[in-house]
Structure 1
Amino acid sequence: MSDFVLLRRFDPAGLRDAAEGWRRLSAAAEDANSQHRHRVNGPLRGHWQGRDADSAFSTMESTEQKLEIVRVEAASAALVLDTVAERMDQARTNLLNALQRADEWNLPVAGDGTVGLPPQTAADRHDPDAQADRQNQGVLREQVQDRINTALTAAREASDQGTRALGRLDASILTQPRVFGAAGESAKDAQDVAKDLGLTEYIPENKDPKQAAKWWKSLTPDQQQSYIALHPEEIGRLDGLPSTVRDQANRLVLEQQLDALKAGDARGSGMTAEEYNQRETNLRVLKDRLDQRDGSDEQHQLFLLGLDPHGDGRAIVSTGNPDTADHTAVLVPGTGTTLQEVPGQIDRIGRLQDSAENAAGPGQKVAVVSWLGYDAPEVDTSVMTTGRAEDGAAGMRQFTDGMRTVQGDHRSHLTVIGHSYGTTAVGAAAAGGQGLQADDIVAIASPGMTTGNAADLHVDPDHFWAGTASDDNISLVTGLTLGPDPTLGSFGGKTIGIDTSGHSGYWDPHSESLANQGKIIAGRTPSTVDNHRGAPPRHRARPLTPERRPEKRPAPMHRTSTHTRRRALAAATALSVSLLLGGCVTSPDPNEPLPVMAKSDAEAWARHMTEYMAQTADITLTPDSAKPYFSNCEGKNGEVADDGRYTLAYHAASTVPVAQHPDAVRKIKAALEKEGFAITGYRETVNDQPDALLYAKHNEGRYFIDVSTGGGTDRLTFTVNTRCLMPPSTSSPTKS
């Protein structure tokens, strides 16, 4: 039978029925896997241990993996059959339309699809008008033949594509002997099937949570399940989709990527053997933590809302469903946090959830999210700049906007908590755009929040809370380069009671530090302390002589001051190490006298310094971009003198095409080196893309320069940081 006859008789119902059967199988596999996780595997992990348990759990994991493979492979088969049915049906429709035209134009069509011309009488052969009609019929015949041929070609192509795609979906994926690799292969099968069919499924870019939510709601349940099974990475990262959907998709990504790592090795991966093994370990540990909570009720299960294992790795994990919680918190971690540290973050959000549930009203549900959705700074000079915070700001705003979008009319009480550099990230996100849509913001152990006042954070200042332990070494760099200390009354917020020790004790069980965070999450009032600190003992010191006072011209301090602060940046970097390793950092000489300078003079000098650098680079500072941040100098125990001693962090910016940033910092670097500055950090590109950065310090002036690209944008930022200075109305004591 010819292709023409087959296509003319084609009925898509058979293929569509078969596709529906595969869809039902895919859905059944997903449901069975979910039931197994929550009713068998999860509950048993809560109390069954030992060799037999390990063997049983390994078997259970294998069963769940096979169910995931069936889900993906069946969904792929359904996609192939649906696609072929649709394309064949369209080809059949085009063929029937062509045949209708042939009938209207009185053109005969043979059984093989060949189009002819109607018989011609002898008289017509000698009639000029009839000959003209004949020529016109010839043109029409070519048009119809072309339509028929096009329809047949499309049908053959659809059939060939379907045959090729279905050939990839082999039952041997479940039956052939292997330990690892089947889940990874199923993910590749899904990608290859889409390529065979030439499909480019529309999935919104992860930029607008409301658009993503609208698109998701427009899909049928079957379509939604197909997208989760066949495009889990794209679906898992979409802000604005329900948490249960993102969790399904990201767990599938986790399973597939972990299985692929187990089946492969570092060769050809672009990673060292150590990096490869660490990534596999990170995913394995994360999966174990998720599995352990599968037996809990929904409000205590873990939801995997984001996953990216590449590089340092990122993950967003929630304990409890933030879509349905009455109180939701987002915890943003700080320096040195990578995918390897996520299990520790899960412990922290679990304690925060318990604390908040104790403080919440009867029946109120609490969810707490660990948001490692940005590239936290490493233990290097990047921790002293706002660059990483600014890079992650838009993503954090988008995430909270996505939560609000999904919640709809059920508006949860939202608290955003930052820890360490995480407070800097929270500050950058909350101060930009429309903010984080938070009801409360909490800054724990903050080195600075990129802004000078709680009112800048799009939150009621009465609902901004900060706290730092008295022996937390973060205080040695607070207010230095990232903004003023938010625990001070001058910041405009409130300071909560902290009774824990060190940089990581804020979530110690039964502590006031943890209880206060829990109260804030639950919408209750925490215990607070007076944030107008008492002064340390006064000491005598000699004031600067008039000739030693800094002049009001660019880069004068290194010429007029004979005192140094040579180890400040090194101490700040060492502090970052100490926060992670538990070490201590020595502070500068406590008997060093302080230079005298009025705040207005310090600000004017810093302004001239930034203008000098901009002129050196042949660029212009953006009007009104300057932001001076004055902070009180603190003693080693956080005490503040009443003599007005202060530090200044002065920020300004210029908008210049990012492609010109490397040339700009190159010129500034050359000029600063001539002025006696030491360059402590420098780069022009990252991954061959313009991303400039310059750190410099002057060994006599004891002040620091930071010039950097603002988050890959056209914004080039300039920062000048001073040492501790004394107002001229007060004789300069030695530092305490």
Structure 2
Amino acid sequence: MDYATLKAFKPSEFEGAADGYRTMGNSAQAAREHIENTVATGMRKSLKGEAADAAHKQLQALARNFHYTQTECGVISTALNGFAYDMAAAKRKLEAAIADAQADGCRVNDDGSVAFPAGQKPGAEKPSEGGTVTGSAGGTETSDALERQAANIHPNPNYGKAMGYANRVADALKEATDADTKWEPKIRALKADDDLTVSGSDWKDVTSDTDGVRGAADAYLHTIKPPPSNDWPQDNANWWNGLSEEQREAYVSMHPASIGALDGLPSAVRDDANRIVLAEQRGAKQVEYDAWLKKEPEHYRPYISPVTGREVKGAMVPTEEWRKWDEKRKEIEGGYQGMDAIQKRFDTYTSESSRPYLLGFDGKDMGRAIVAIGNPDTADNVVTYVPGTFAELKSIDGDIGRAERLQAQAEATDPTKSTASIVWLGYDAPQGIATDATETKWADNAREPLGNFVQGLEEANHREGGVNQTLLGHSYGSLVVGETMSMHIDLPVDNAIMVGSPGVGVDHAKDLNIPPDRVFAATSDHDLINLAPPVARDPLSPKAWWDTFDDHTIVHGTDPTSEDFGGQVFEVPDGKWPGEGWETMPAHSQYWDDKPLRSLAGIVTGGKP
């Protein structure tokens, strides 16, 4: 970067370009939302048949294109603002050096050198002629000392001043050169394929682009106040409200996962951010899956009889290499099944009341997701369902289905009120009944995040008089709900429901910090959870197991369906017998059948079962 280029550089032109890309991204977002919320939903409600299905697939592809455009425009806008910020800082240093030199009787030449006038040191017989000096950037302690010595020796007192200004010019030019060198490959990388198909590799590139820009734009991003470290929902909301639109969009483009996880922010904001994360992680999984398919080894080999030791003519068996390959293939496939189940909701909803919102997402390890059916920010009633043992991202389809059924039944129960129904898989659930589920550590780790989430719903929903909130825990999820409510004295929860519960971590309904008559529990007679005893004090003693088992104790405390617990017990069908339909615990999953579902909806809408 030379002197003339930096002097003529206009950061405002790049900031203007950034605004243009931001506007383009907003237009793409508006187009995507119009397709998803108006065109596609209207088509699904009114049109059927092969032509409608084909048109719907094209709309989905178009919406994905707009989503990709929106996301990349956000990244480009932040990159241009980051480049302009770095260059503006260098230009300010250059302009300050020029102004100071002029005020001191020196002149910065077109090549960046500094001319100084004639001058006379005290005691000298005559003035010394003026001259020109060229500075150097990044002086060291040694070079600075040498320059001071040269200035003291030089007969012209203006020489030392000019050298200082020349060094400042050189420093500014180096800073601009460094910025240009840093940003050139980052900005050049921000380009898409020349086709109309947004593939998994395209979304993987978005992740790479974002990482690159985020690292380069650290100085610019540090001008944006970060979220509060305490992660308290009200503080999060105040932080968000204090940002400008440009700052908000820059933060979302660079930190979508962080924004998507912030309790207290509007649901639409969290949904937008988390859908970026979903698209990026789904794209990465697709790239991984496609690459693994190309590594498929030979599938079959001839079968060798263990009796004769000879090849059995016409008999083939899978090779061991193929078995291992297929096991890994299924593992990768399972990693995106839950993602596809979530995306399916965005592709199939038919009304604003059943519109999905992705309020949390992380595809790593077992995976986590928080999916709302209906907007919690505008709903009169909000129910948050916490699933239990064996819950994980790849099987979330069934849990979202439960939330959908409850939302529909709640609005049918009270059509005058709107209800948002949420599945909260915001924790790592236990994955074994006789092992993990007997421990409280999973619930211990979940109670603070769930509490913050519920507080965040209240903060984002500014309905006069507050929103009617219900926590619904199933199986081990009821322990999560119980621990969360008992730990938070003033949690904004109006109703608590425990179904198929192994205990909620407290001995009495009043310990949940809401009126006991708004604590409801039910367990089917044929649910095997009824046979789960409390943990024995001496696990090696059969008598100890028997002595601790009575009609009101269970794995994690007092059975919430017992009279001793003091809550409200509602009736549910007996359910299927264990083993019926080749299921081990079928009754444990029947709390969303028609009759119990009506009871759940009655509670959620503020009434009785």
TM-score bracket relative to the smaller structure: 0.7 to 0.9
One-letter amino acid of the structure 1 residue matched with residue 419 of structure 2: V
CA distance in 1, matches of 2:571, 2:156: 96
Match of 1:425 in 2: 480
Structure 1 CA distance, aligned partners of 2:429 and 2:100?
66
Q: Residue by residue, what CA displacement relative to the aligned partner does 1:210-240 show, whole Å, maximum 9, x if unpaired?
A: 2221221122223323433443222211111
Alpha-carbon separation, structure 2, partners of 1:97 and 1:57: 59
**Aligned equivalents of 1:65 and 1:303: distance in 2?**
16
Q: How does 1:387-426 map to 2 (within 5 A)?
A: 387-408=441-462, 410=464, 411-426=466-481
SS in 2 for 1:307: strand
Cα distance in 2 for partners of 1:505, 1:475 equals 15
Q: What residue is the counterpart of 1:41 in the other structure?
A: 40
Matched with 2:593 is 508
8 Å contact kept, 2:341–2:397 = yes
Label 1:405 to 1:163 Cα distance change in 2 as closer, same or farther (>3 A).
same
User: 1:322, 1:367 within 8 Å by CA — same for their partners in 2?
Assistant: yes
Q: Tell me which of 172, 181, 188 is aligned to 2:201.
A: 181
Equivalent residues in 2 for 1:194-213 (5 A)?
A: 194-198=214-218, 203-204=226-227, 207-213=231-237
Deviation at 1:178, TM superposition (A): 8.1
2:392 matches 1:368: no
Cα RMSD for the two superposed structures: 3.0
How do 1:325-404 and structure 2 match up within 5 A? 325-360=379-414, 363-380=416-433, 381-404=435-458
Contact 1:437 1:458 in 2 (8 A): no
The DSSP-based 3-state class of the residue aligned with 2:429 is coil
Q: Select the residue among 357, 361, 366 that pairs with 1:303.
A: 357
Distance in 1 (CA, whole Å) between partners of 2:105 and 2:251 is: 47
Distance 1:122 1:359 in 2: 96
- What's the counterpart of residue 144 of structure 2? none
* Conserved? CA contact 1:240–1:402, under 8 Å: yes
Q: Supply the distance in 1 between the matched residues of 2:278 and 2:238 (Cα, whole angstroms).
A: 26
Normalised to the residue count of structure 2, the TM-score between the two structures is: 0.78
Hey, what does 1:285 align to over in structure 2?
341
Deviations 1:435-456 (CA, angstroms, capped at 9, x unpaired): 6321111111211111111222
**What amino acid is aligned across from residue 92 of structure 1 in structure 2?**
K
1:489 is matched with 563
Q: How has the CA–CA distance of structure 1 residues 58 and 94 changed in structure 2, closer, same or farther, with 3 Å as cutoff?
A: same
Match of 2:139 in 1: none
Alignment of 1:57-136 (within 5 A): 57-120=56-119, 125-126=124-125
Aligned counterparts, 1:533-682, within 5 A? none
> Residue in 1 aligned with 2:314?
none
Structure 1 residues 275 and 206: alpha-carbon distance in aligned structure 2, compared to 1, 3 A threshold: farther
**1:434 to partner: Cα distance:** 3.6
Are the structure 2 counterparts of residues 259 and 357 from structure 1 closer, same or farther at C-alpha, using a change threshold of 3 Å?
same
**2:525 is paired with a residue of what secondary structure?**
coil
The whole-number CA distance in structure 1 between the counterparts of 2:61 and 2:250 is: 23
- Separation in 2 of the partners of 1:64 and 1:177? 11
Aligned partner of 1:238 in structure 2 is 262
Match of 1:601 in 2: none
Per-residue CA distance 1:500-530 (angstroms, 9 max, x = gap): 5222222112x1x22222121111133xxxx
Pairing 1:468–2:468 present: no
Quickly say closer, same or farther: Cα 1:194–1:233, change in 2 above 3 A.
same
Q: Distance in 1 between matches of 2:290 and 2:245?
A: 39
Displacement of 1:421:
0.8
SS in 2 for 1:443: strand
Which range moved further: 26-35 or 462-471?
Answer: 462-471
> What is the CA-CA distance between 1:499 and the residue it aligns to?
3.2
Are 2:292 and 2:329, in contact at CA under 8 Å, matched by a contact in 1?
no
Q: 1:158 aligns with which of 165, 172, 179?
A: 179
AA matched with 2:591 = Y
Cα distance in 2, alignment partners of residues 117 and 88 from structure 1: 28
Unaligned runs of 5+ in 2: 130-150, 294-324, 534-552, 576-586
Determine the C-alpha separation between the residues in 2 that align with 1:353 and 1:100.
67
State the distance in 2 between where 1:144 and 1:308 align. Answer: 53
* In 1, Cα distance between equivalents of 2:45 and 2:121: 95
1:130-177 Cα distance to aligned partner (Å, 9 max, x none): 997967644433432232222112222222333222210124x24288
Q: Note the 1:704-723 alignment, pairs <5 A.
A: none
Kept in 1, the 8 Å contact 2:378–2:463? The answer is no
Gaps of 5+ in 1: 527-736
> Is 1:446–1:474's contact at 8 Å kept on the other side of the alignment?
yes
Contact 1:266–1:273 (CA under 8 A) maintained in structure 2: no
Q: How far did residue 54 of structure 1 move? A: 4.8
Instruction: Report the equivalent of 1:11.
Output: 10
SS at match of 1:503: helix
Instruction: Supply the AA of the counterpart residue of 1:104.
Output: A
1:66-112 deviation line (CA, Å, top 9, x unaligned): 22222222222222222222222222222221222223332333222
Q: 1:483 to 1:129 in 2, by over 3 A?
A: farther
Cα contact 2:76–2:190 (8 A) shared by 1: yes
Query: Is the Cα contact below 8 Å between 2:65 and 2:197 reproduced in 1?
Result: no
> Which amino acid letter does the alignment assign opposite residue 588 of structure 2?
H
Q: Secondary structure at the match of 1:416?
A: strand
Change (3 A) 1:176 1:161: farther
Q: Contact 1:27 / 1:225 at 8 angstroms: preserved in 2?
A: no
Per the alignment, residue 167 of structure 1 pairs with 188
Identity within the alignment, %: 30
Give the number of aligned pairs.
519
